[in-house]
Amino acid sequence: MDVGHDVPMDRDWARLSRYIASAREALGLPQPAFAAELGVGRSAIQKLESGHEYRKVTPLHRAVERRFGWAEGSIETVLAGGEAERFAGPVSDSPIEAGVDALLDDLTARVKGALLGGQVVDATAVPMGDGDGSVVIIWKGGEERDLTPAQRRRLERQWSKFQRAAHDILADGEEQEE
């Protein structure tokens, strides 16, 4: 199952929130510790356990599945009134997934928190020069809504300006050092 696919509105989000809270408590994990393990803020866990009705299953839901050792798709099963299934196979049998898992392990909790939830619209890497690395800028979409073509163009122009500004800032830094 893909992260972020639409979930029918008749799903029991309140049941899922109770199920997650119960699983967390069974492990003796306070909300702050659980949040830290998942690389998110405590408010994300509070929202998750409050019965909030999400429009779709999010990357945070998938992270919860993995943390509890549930089989992929267990979130949807619980939403539909069933029970989560324990994962019986290897955690990652794909080299790509293993690479992604290794990459995620290298990220700080702050970066993970910023990346979880929402939809990535675009990203760019701006070189810092002289092999000093690069600055990665990620555009994350806000609440899902239908945008008019004019609104979409306006957002794309803002993103373009932001990318140019970041490039100019880093280029100015190189000129000042010379």
Residue type, 40: V
CATH code assigned at 8: 1.10.260.40
Longest CA–CA separation in the chain, Å: 65
User: In a 3-state reduction of DSSP, which class is residue 39?
Assistant: coil
99 has a pLDDT exceeding 80: no
Q: How far apart are CA 153 and CA 27, in angstroms?
A: 48
More confident residue, 122 or 160: 160
| Residues 17, 77 within the same domain | yes
* pLDDT value at residue 94: 52
Q: How far apart are CA 178 and CA 156, in angstroms?
A: 34
77 has a pLDDT exceeding 90: yes
Name the residue among 153, 173, 161, 109 with its Cα closest to residue 137. 161
Number of domains in the chain: 2
Check the CA dihedral 156-161-167-173 and report its sign: negative
User: In a 3-state reduction of DSSP, which class is residue 137?
Assistant: strand
| Residues 139, 68 within the same domain | no
- pLDDT > 70: what percent of the chain? 74
| Residues 96, 138 within the same domain | no
| Residues 74, 149 within the same domain | no
Which of 85, 101, 116 is a domain's end point?
Answer: 116
Provide the whole-model pTM: 0.48
| Residues 110, 126 within the same domain | no
| Residues 99, 28 within the same domain | yes
Which of 65, 100, 116 is a domain's end point?
Answer: 116
Domain ranges, residue 138: 119-177
| Residues 75, 133 within the same domain | no
| Residues 76, 97 within the same domain | yes
